[in-house]
Structure 1
Amino acid sequence: MEKEELFKKRMLELSKKSYYRGILTYSDFLDLNEQNILHSLSFSDTGVQVLLFGGYETAERQMAAFVSDAFCCKEDYPIACIKISPLNRKFSDTLTHRDYLGSILNLGIERCKIGDILVEEDGAFVFCHTSMVDFLIDEICRIKHTPVKAERITEENQLPTPKREEISGTVASPRLDSVIGLAFRTSRSSMISYIESGKVFINGKSVVSNGYVLKEGDIVSVRGKGKFQFHSVTSKTKKNRSHVILYKYC
């Protein structure tokens, strides 16, 4: 059985378990491709609602919660956040997302147990399955050549807030290909291959149409480039071009 079919079978099993037992069930962290497959499935015959969350607003990697109609309590995703910080910032390496992820996976942890990793100047915030917290805190002591410490974030006000850069400009129209070109400061034509090859996701769903018209609040993720939130069309120019505002995640 192909990987995609196995994934579909697993999601349907979780939905049925939620329905027949009247409990909440959760997936592991899902990447954008898996979220897209999930969106294509119908759960109408199992009587469950599927909700996605990744530990913070606009997270890319998210868990799916399967909520039975019989369940009336608030979903409590098994997601935790740990902060990894250098023991001595003065002598630490400049660490990237790849460095943090590589060190974590080298411990033998499956990628599906790790959510987003937000890198900041003084370290990184790692979202993970709650079952991984103690292991990560005990085992992560070095990233590349930099000695580090890991600690769990327990207060909501300590959680990271993704940084965003406001970008504004004029485009021919609020079509996907035009706005992506503005977001990543490149030509519209150079982004068409990303769209047609299935590397562009809007709100977790794959979009392969260049002519998709973006709506206010849409989250656009482009594999290998980054992501942004489309804000609005603010006005029209004399040449009938659209002035738009969007927020690119740093």
Structure 2
Amino acid sequence: MHQRDIYAHFHPDERRFVDQAFEWVERAANQHALKRTDFLDPRQAFIVSTLANRNPDAGCRFDGGYAKAERRRAIIAPDYRQLDEEDMGISVLAVTSGDGKFLTLDHGDYMGAILGLGMKRDKIGDIHVLAGGCHCLVTTDAANYLHMNLSQVHRVHVQTELLPLDKLETSQVKLEELALSVASLRMDGIISDVFRLSRAKVLVPIQAGRCRVNWKFEEDPSKPLKEGDIVSMQGFGRFQVLAVEGITKSGRVRVKIGKYT
């Protein structure tokens, strides 16, 4: 497998990560090295899996702390290594407060507080907002630092505790359902309706590389979306195409959207 040959399969903005993942796989195959990554988003996990599958002398395992995790760590190792029992290095950071103000806190508040401590995003897995606080999956090497230093979230004073994975409490993803009638399944048109922006204002972030479809950079505003696609636009949020429900009498397309809240 030649490194230059794989670039054609990925977006130019992904080249830096592709280089990194390629090196991990090559070192596992040729130098018998084991690499435990930080948390990867689904697109990064796809890249790692693709490269590992192309090399018969390397293997990998993914784990995000629970079965349906979106963000996962990977272990990349020589193909003869048994990876099922390898420690993935994931801890649960429980954040709680006794003043009853958690009703006003959301995923972004917790993430902002953690990143505000100088923590890299890669050290953070899924965050589950609960009635009494949140459970956040973090790399074990970052856990103690967060436990000792996270004392406030959006002006709310908090306490933290480190828990084993079997104490993790997960939350259900909340989607605000929207019923749209659109001229076509073009990405720019649907994004415009979901975020209530003009078509002209939507084009700027798309063409600037701030939009992803299924975690892959997408700069073509005319790209047709399909059922199941997850679209995110930096600074605005993300949504999923839940269903394409048919054509109206006037020729427009009925689409059901789930907007992440």
Question: What TM bracket, shorter-length normalisation?
Answer: 0.7 to 0.9
Kindly tell me: are residues 219 and 72 of structure 1, through their superposed partners in 2, closer, same or farther at Cα, counting changes over 3 Å? farther
The yes-or-no answer on 1:11 pairing with 2:21 is: yes
Letter in 1 for 2:177: E
Structure 1 residues not aligned, in runs of 5+: none
Query: Which among 85, 88, 92 is matched to residue 96 of structure 2?
Result: 85
Q: 1:85 to 1:28 in 2, by over 3 A?
A: same
Matches within 5 A, 1:39-188: 42=51, 46-47=55-56, 48=58, 57=68, 59=70, 62-66=72-76, 69-70=79-80, 73-74=83-84, 77-89=88-100, 94-95=104-105, 99-119=109-129, 122-143=132-153, 145-151=155-161, 152=163, 154-155=165-166, 158-188=169-199
* Rounded Cα–Cα distance in structure 1 between residues aligned with 2:167 and 2:229: 25
Q: Is the 8 A contact 1:18 1:25 kept in 2?
A: yes
Distance in 2 separating the partners of 1:84 and 1:111: 18
Is this contact kept in 2: 1:58–1:219, CA < 8 A? no
CA gap of 1:135–1:212, structure 2 versus 1, over 3 A, is same
Unaligned stretches of 5+ in structure 2?
1-12
Structure 1 stretch 212-221 or stretch 9-18: which is displaced more?
9-18
1:26 paired residue among 10, 19, 36: 36
**Does structure 1 residue 204 correspond to structure 2 residue 215?**
yes
TM-score of the aligned structures, taking structure 1 as reference length: 0.75
Change in CA separation of 1:158 and 1:111 when aligned onto 2, cut-off 3 Å: closer
Aligned length: 244
- Larger helix fraction of residues: 2
Residues 19-71 of structure 1 deviation map (CA, whole Å, 9 limit, x = unaligned): 34677633223469x839948x8556533467766556473x55445465545
Q: Which amino acid aligns with 1:46?
A: N
Offset from partner CA, 1:130-184 (integer Å, 9 cap, x none): 2223442343333354331223363477212221111111111122112212322
| SS of residue in 2 equivalent to 1:29 | coil
Measure the CA separation in 2 of the matches of 1:5 and 1:234: 37
Q: 1:215 Cα shift? A: 2.2
Does the 8 A contact of 1:93 with 1:146 survive in 2? no
Instruction: State the distance in 2 between where 1:110 and 1:210 align.
Output: 31
* Match in the other structure for 1:236: 247
Q: TM-score, normalised by structure 2?
A: 0.73
User: Identity rate of aligned residues, in percent?
Assistant: 32
User: In structure 2, do the counterparts of structure 1 residues 169 and 105 end up closer, same or farther at CA, with 3 Å as the change threshold?
Assistant: closer
